[in-house]
Amino acid sequence: MLAVVFEMPGKQKTRMSFLRRQQWCHGAIFIAMLSISPGLSAEIFVVASAASPPLTLQPGQVGDLFMGKLLSLPDGRPVQLVDQPESAPLRNEFYLEAANKSAAQARAQWAKLYFTGRGIPPRVAEGSKEVKKLVNSSPNALGYIDSSALDDSVRVVCVLHKNSNRNE
Amino acid sequence: MTKIMKTAGLALLLAASVCHGAEPGGPEYSGSGFLSVVAGKMLGGDAGNVGDYNCPCYVSDYAQAAIYDGRGGLQFKPDTKLGLQGSISFDDQRFSLTGQVVSRAAHNGGMDLEWLYVSYKLNSKVTLQAGRQRLPLFYYSDAQDIGVSLPWTHLPTWLYGWQAVNYNGVKMRYQDEVGGWASMFNLLAGSEHLRDSGYWKVYGNGRQSVTDVNWTNIVGGDLTLSKDWFETRMVYIQSHTQDINKNAAWDYTTLSYGPPAGAGPVAEQKIYGLTVNVNYGNWQSYNEFIYINHPGLTYKDFSQNVALGYRMGKWLPMVTWGHYRGTVVTTGVLPGAPASTPNSQATIALSLRYDLTPSSDLKLQYDDTHDASDPGFNPRYGRSRLLTFAFDMTF
């Protein structure tokens, strides 16, 4: 089955070079191939509680939050982060797209922040189902899931497109 | 005071490690740790002249007197360490007490209280801290003992080697997004009174020497800005310093211990630092520069470190160049005489990191150090070639 891609006019489908982070949070719709392994859809959805105030984040802001460079959301609320398990391929893909770091680099950064009192690492969920449960437990919580887990129980605040944010 | 703080820190760690968790409506406890097991082998070099140390030798951590010397075989003492950290937080983590102890093989396994401080979050952007904490002289100062956070088996010696690494005092931290830049600004003030400095053992006074270091009236701040692939940090810290050699100091003329040098002058120091880091695609570059002016004394310090690596999946090969020079300022002391550079060392390091898991890694590093100091300058490290292999983890 071929993937059908609907994109905003003028945007490229292939990997881009010399990207500055663009506003991909709205506008791209992707129908995933059934042959793609679960958890490896082309998009990663950053989600908040369905009951949380309306919020839109840029990919750069998502990266800064999940790397501990920012501790609060744009409206000033302190953020509570939820991570996928270390064994999940989605975790590595997320950090590469959001922050251009591997999951190991992100863990090293959080180790630095935690052991120096500058931040508490994201809470680790057991998978996308628990990610949604945890983000819904707090209006300030953010997590990330792939398209297979996306439903109406969470609010999408940013969409990351794989291989679109790796500045090369 | 140090004993009281050490006891309190150990009690905190014990409580946090045993009572990990949270009570409904009550305090939250947490404990964690880090470990580095590092083996080093000196591959060769010059005999050098560093007090009563057996050279060729390589100082991997001045503040801890951590030195690989000319003995044969593998050496584990200089860089192997275990750290434990515990914290207790209250009021939904607005208020917390944090303590960290580190056991270093360089100190024969002795446990040192690194820091013990209270934190209070005024709001989501401003945090106040008071107590014993890390002195943020450099970009990696906060994480200098956490091997997992570093691309090297040990920090670049010529940049990070200094007398004091901690201080007792206060800090205010502000974090926010400003104009699209993730920003962090720290202001700090305090002092440090360090007994039996490790720095002065390996920087000339000898293994048996006892030299106390006082840094008083410490005032300063640092600003870190990051956006996309670019990050920069600027730091300014000033203080008064005094070194007091209490028992004996190595005499480079008789090559034996001489009488104690006593108390040196109380001098002012002004530290200026700049960091520029780039993480562009798979390329990673860490660059740091520091200049220290000592008004009233006759020398200035310049140090820089440039590193370039390329990430290939779980592998990170990196080449690093570090350089230090101490320049004697003769203007006003010997009018008309040119400034000389009596103290100068440089190191090229080749390192390779492999991420075993997100919380552990293996590293291999080769350091080749050259000493271009004036012939009459001591200590003289000479040339040294060192190979180190590290396993780091957090838990």
Whether residues A108 and B176 touch (CB distance < 8 A) is answered with: no
Residue of B173, B314, B394 lying closest to A111 (CB–CB): B394
Q: What global pTM score does this model have? A: 0.85
- Which comes out higher in pLDDT, residue A130 or B332? A130
Interface of A with B in 8-47 (CB under 8 A): 20-21
pLDDT in the model for residue A4: 31
Each residue's pLDDT tens digit in chain B (395 positions)? 455 555 555 655 555 554 455 555 678 888 899 999 999 999 999 888 899 999 999 999 999 999 999 888 999 999 999 999 999 988 777 899 999 999 999 999 999 999 999 999 998 899 999 999 999 999 999 889 999 999 999 999 889 988 999 999 999 999 999 999 999 999 999 999 999 999 999 998 999 999 999 999 999 999 999 998 999 999 999 999 999 999 999 999 899 999 999 999 999 999 999 999 999 989 999 999 999 999 878 788 999 999 999 999 999 999 999 999 998 876 555 555 556 668 899 999 999 999 998 889 999 999 999 998 888 788 888 899 999 999 999 99
Longest dimension (CA), chain A: 50
Whether residues A106 and B358 touch (CB distance < 8 A) is answered with: yes
Whether residues A102 and B311 touch (CB distance < 8 A) is answered with: yes
Cα dist. A61→A19, A23, A114, A157, B185 in Å? 16, 11, 20, 11, 18
Residue to mutate among A16, A19, A23, A69, with most B CBs inside 10 A, is A69
Residue of A60, A64, A114 lying closest to B32 (CB–CB): A114
Residue to mutate among B124, B133, B356, with most A CBs inside 10 A, is B124
- Name the pLDDT band for A24 (thresholds 50, 70, 90): very low
Task: Spell out which residues of chain A touch residue B228, defining contact as CB-CB under 8 Å.
Answer: 20-21, 60, 100, 167
Q: CA-CA distance, B392 to B40, in Å (whole number)? A: 14
Q: CA-CA distance, B101 to B113, in Å (whole number)? A: 4
pLDDT digits (tens, 9 = 90+) for A80-100: 999 999 889 999 999 999 998
Cβ neighbours for B235, distance < 8 A, ≥ 6 positions apart:
B136, B137, B138, B220, B221, B222, B223, B271, B272, B273, B274
pLDDT above 90 (res A116): no
Strand stretches in B195-339, DSSP E: 211-227, 230-245, 249-251, 256-258, 262-263, 267-280, 283-293, 299-310, 315-328
DSSP-assigned letter for residue A139: T
Q: Which residue type, as a one-letter code, is found at position B191?
A: S
Sign, CA torsion B159/B162/B164/B170: negative
List the alpha helices (DSSP H) in chain B.
Answer: 2-18, 157-160, 198-200
pLDDT in the model for residue B14: 55
pLDDT above 90 (res A17): no
- Name the pLDDT band for A23 (thresholds 50, 70, 90): very low
Task: Spell out which residues of chain B touch residue A100, defining contact as CB-CB under 8 Å.
Answer: 228-229, 279-281
pLDDT in the model for residue A120: 83
Write the ipTM. Answer: 0.78
pLDDT in the model for residue B358: 84
Whether residues B229 and A115 touch (CB distance < 8 A) is answered with: no
% of chain A residues with pLDDT over 90: 51
The two structure tokens encoding residue B367: 């350091």
pLDDT in the model for residue A168: 41
- Whether A111 and chain B come into contact, CB under 8 Å, resolves to yes
Residue of B100, B124, B355 lying closest to A104 (CB–CB): B355
Interface list for chain B against chain A, based on CB atoms closer than 8 Å = 32, 34, 83, 85, 87, 93, 96, 98, 100, 117, 119, 123-125, 129, 133-134, 142-143, 146, 148-149, 173, 175-177, 180, 182, 184, 226-229, 279-282, 311, 314, 355, 357-359, 361, 394
Q: Is the peptide bond before B156 cis (omega within 30 degrees of 0)?
A: no
The number of angstroms, rounded, from the C-alpha of A43 to the middle of its chain's C-alpha atoms is 9
Whether residues B359 and A86 touch (CB distance < 8 A) is answered with: yes
Nearest chain A residue (CA) to B94: A78
The full length of chain B comes to: 395
Sign, CA torsion B174/B271/B320/B79: negative
pLDDT in the model for residue B7: 55
